[in-house]
Amino acid sequence: MKIEIESLTKRIPGTGDFISIDYNKCNNCERCLIICVMNLWRKKDGKIHIINDYKSKCLECAACYQVCEAEAIKFRYPTGGTGIIFEKG
């Protein structure tokens, strides 16, 4: 069964970038690739990166930030009143 996240959420624009990666700290452990339920992380040319349109798909759960032992992922919740709003469930 596929869950259509768009039918369960609403996005308020204006979040700005709220996830970034410090490539000087990243050790390519791939934990972020494994933990992200929305599949927003990729490995390309030997480097981990987040997809360009992550702001429109991210659930803002901060799981990637929590599992990054190298502390390479920087996460902040979007500015108040912006970001994802769960409408059902």
Q: What is the pLDDT of residues 66-80, one digit of tens each?
A: 999 999 999 998 877
8-state DSSP, 55: G
How many Cβ atoms are within 10 Å of 38's Cβ, its own excluded? 14
pLDDT tens sequence across 50-66: 999 898 888 889 999 99
| Identity of the residue numbered 21 | I
Q: Which CATH number fits domain 5-86: 3.40.1650.10, 3.40.190.10, 3.40.50.300, 3.30.70.20?
A: 3.30.70.20
* Residue 89 scores a pLDDT above 60: no
Angle at 28 between CA 36 and CA 56, to 5 degrees: 35
